[in-house]
Amino acid sequence: MDIDLLLAISHHLVVFLLVAILAAEFALLRPGLNGAGIGQLARIDAAYGAVAALVIVVGVLRVIFGSSGWEYYVANYAFWAKMVAFLVMGLLTIQPTLAIRRWLKASQGDASYAIPPAEIAASRRYIHLQVGVAVLIPIFAAAMARGYGVA
C-alpha cells in the first residue's frame, strides 16, 4: 500500500473523529450541566484539542509526502481557504475551552456548582459557529481534489 493512500485514509479518519468529538461536545453542553458532566465535558474538550493537533500533523505529512506534492498545495487557493476555515475553527474553540476550564475549576470547589445558563448559551454559540465553518472544509477539499483552486 502506498504512503499517499495511507496518509489520505489517516487524514479522513482523524477528521471524522474530530467532527464526532465536536458533536459530542455540542450534545453535552446544555443548560443544567453540572458535577460529573462538567468533568466529562472537559475530557471531551481536551480530546477535541488533541485530535485537532493530530489532524494538523497528518495534514502536514500529507502535504509533504503525498503524491500531489507540496507545490500543488501552496499554489492552490482552495487549500488556503480550507486552512483559513480550520484556523477559524481553532480560534472559535478558545472561548468554550476557557469557559469549560473555568467551570471545571469552580465545580471542584463546590459540588453544587451550576453553570449560569447565559454562559452555556454563549459557549454554544461559539460551537454553532464552529460547525458552520466546519461545513466549508469538505467543500474546499472537494474542490481541491477536482483541481479547482490552481491559479
* Per-residue pLDDT tens over the stretch 104-141: 999 998 878 889 999 999 999 999 999 999 999 999 99
The pLDDT value recorded for residue 31 is: 93
Beta carbons of 33 and 96 less than 8 angstroms apart: no
Cell of 102: 473555568
Number of domains in the chain: 1
| Domain assignment present for 151 | no
Q: Tell whether 86 is covered by a domain.
A: yes
The span from the CA of 101 to the CA of 111, in Å, is 16
Which residue segment(s) compose the domain that 49 sits in?
A: 3-145
DSSP notation for 132-148 = HHHHHHHHHHHHHHTTT
**Phi, psi of 138, rounded to the nearest 5 degrees:** -65, -25
Cα gap 58→81, rounded to integer Å:
18
Residue 50 lies in a domain: yes
Within a domain: residue 140? Answer: yes
pLDDT tens track for 54-103:
999 999 999 999 999 999 999 999 999 999 999 999 999 999 999 999 99
The whole model's pTM is what?
0.92
Task: Tell me the pLDDT tens digit for each residue of 10-38.
Answer: 999 999 999 999 999 999 999 989 888 99
User: What is the rounded distance in angstroms from the CA atom of residue 95 to the CA atom of residue 113?
Assistant: 20
